[in-house]
Amino acid sequence: MKRLGVFLAGLLCASMASATTWHVNSQTGDDASSGLAPDQAWRTLGALLRAGLQPGDTVLLAAGSVWREPLLLVHSGAAGAPITVTRGGDGPRPRIEAGDVAENAVEIRNADNVILSGLEITNTGKGNAARRGVFVSAVDFGVANNIVLRDLYIHDVNGTNARKDNGGIVFSALGPTVPTRFEGVTIERNLLWKVDRSGIAGISDQVSVARWFPSRFVVIRDNVLEDIGGDGIVPRGTDGTLIEHNIVRRAAARVDEHTVAIWQWSTDNTLIQLNEAAFTQGLLDGQGFDSDFNSRRTTIQYNFSHDNAGGFLLVCTPVVRDPAENLGNTGTLARYNVSYHDHERIFQIAGASDAVIEKNVIHAAPDEDVQMVVATWWNGWSTGITLRDNWLGTSGTARYGYETGRSGGRYIASPGFPPPLTLSFAGNVYAGNHVDRPADETGSQRAEKVAPPEAWDVPVLDPARPDDLPAFLERHRAWMLAMLARELGTRPVLEQPKLMMPEEFRRR
């Protein structure tokens, strides 16, 4: 075995030693050249398809270049020897404009061990059609490893809002014949602005109980999403996804459907922490955060939700379900979050079970009548929901109850949580005016505390200035940590996601 390891290491070193750097320049290049030096650059992105890229190769797209064609990558790198596509030289980001040319401005198709960085990407076309900035597509591929999308500026992608599988960044694992998933997707430090419908979305057809083959080691971190037509960040069919320190502002900008800034669908062990979700529009959901359908052990912690039309948090799944399709939504833990000036309904619970909502700090929108906790019907009622040790603050009016009707995106609620609903309250602080307050033997009544407005001046980024992103992310993270420490009375302790153990994976 030792000799085999040495042999394989030798092969990898040989591969790296023979790695090639390719050059593409839309202004000075010539596809008849070799592509092996800046003065021998190719002109078109299509020339890369003829290059037969190998593990360890690097493609340098010349700074200042603009292409009106898509970038298609179909060759795989190897572990430790990825294929890298990035900016070459100083100057403006190389720009790919795919409007009315291609459905996907950049596509990684049935390839893995690929790193993409440093590009500007747009896809604005005529009419209502599916369009994407970056599409990572694996179909009947088996396991696709190690895709990295980093430092990309993706904007003006006018995809159709009738489909969730298009927008800024979409990673899709489909296995009609061969079960297919990703092992290692890193999406970090990207700026997405004015994209439809989804900001960052995972797609899978292996998300049911009977057909469960989740992607693993998915990391969505340090991204800024501004003015998103529908949902901001939504992984689907994953185990152990980390969604950390993303800023999603003005989601649901052009969709009058059920939409949330940051959520997950049919996942296990998702960890959502240190994110900001703000100004989500609409009342069909319209929350900052959501733990959704067929998911287990979702943790939502140390996040900042503010100014969302539909409120802070939704925890939901249908109660009546096909057991081969949906296990329900169990084990959600929402803790140490801060909600500031969210509207309409702060906590909405619909069909989920065995969820704990604890140690959150709520400052509902001032002078408004909000539903602090509302239980709504989704083919049944929620059971085993615990709300404890939360600061539930309002300078207006807060109400509690269960759905007895609907008016558009608003719920008509009656007081109380009658059986079969089982919601328990313990040790919460009810600050301000609370109507129909639930039974809480260890709860207490206080006056709402009001921090000065400047305490809530969260850093902002001009999305037209992508080069300001690194400094902004540093400022924003520091502000978040300081604000959370002030409001929670303790410094945040971030975690890493947990994956299912192999024997539990087989039982899913």
- Residue 1, pLDDT > 60, answer no
157, two tokens: 């992608």
Could you give the percent of the chain with pLDDT greater than 90? 92
Is pLDDT of 7 > 60?
no
Any residues with CB less than 8 A from the CB of 452 and at least 6 apart, and which?
Answer: none
> Which residues, 6+ apart, have CB-to-CB distance to 267 below 8 Å?
214, 235, 236, 237, 238, 239, 241, 295, 298
Asked if residue 21 belongs to a domain, the reply is no
Give yes or no for residue 8 having a pLDDT over 50.
no
Report the candidate in 79, 51, 204, 219 with the shortest Cα–Cα distance to residue 141.
Answer: 204
Q: Are residues 218 and 264 in the same domain?
A: no
Phi and psi at 453, nearest 5°, equal -55, -35
- Residue partners of 31: CB distance under 8 A and separation at least 6: 42, 43, 44, 47
What predicted TM-score, i.e. pTM, was given to this entire model? 0.95
How many domains does the chain contain in total? 2
pLDDT at 409 over 60: yes
CA 317 to CA 327: how far, in whole Å? 9
Domain boundary residue, one of 214, 241, 268 = 241
Name the residue range of residue 137's domain. Answer: 69-241
- Check residue 408 and report its DSSP letter: T
Do 88 and 62 contact (CB within 8 A), yes or no?
A: yes
Instruction: Say if residue 298 is in the same domain as residue 172.
Output: no
Q: Cβ contacts of residue 215 below 8 Å, gap of 6+?
A: 171, 173, 181, 182, 183, 185, 202, 204, 235, 237, 238, 239, 241
- Same-domain pairing of 264 and 134: no
Task: Answer for the pair 248, 233: CB distance below 8 angstroms, yes or no.
Answer: yes
Q: Given the DSSP bridges, would you call strands 198-204 and 233-234 parallel, antiparallel or unpaired? A: parallel
> Is residue 316 located within the same domain as residue 215?
no
Q: What would the pLDDT profile of 318-359 be if each residue is shown by its tens digit? A: 999 888 899 999 999 999 999 999 999 999 999 999 999 999
Mean residue pLDDT across the chain: 94
Give the position of tokens 């003065």: 39
Residues 219 and 345 reside in one and the same domain: no
The reply to whether 372 and 459 lie within a common domain is yes
pLDDT band for 451, please (50, 70, 90 cuts): confident
Looking at the structure, tell me whether residues 417 and 325 fall in a common domain.
yes
**Same domain, residue pair 278 and 387:** yes
Which pLDDT does position 6 carry in this prediction?
41
CA-to-CA dists, residue 192 to 138, 223, 248, 349, angstroms? 23, 8, 9, 30
Tokens of 304: 């900042």
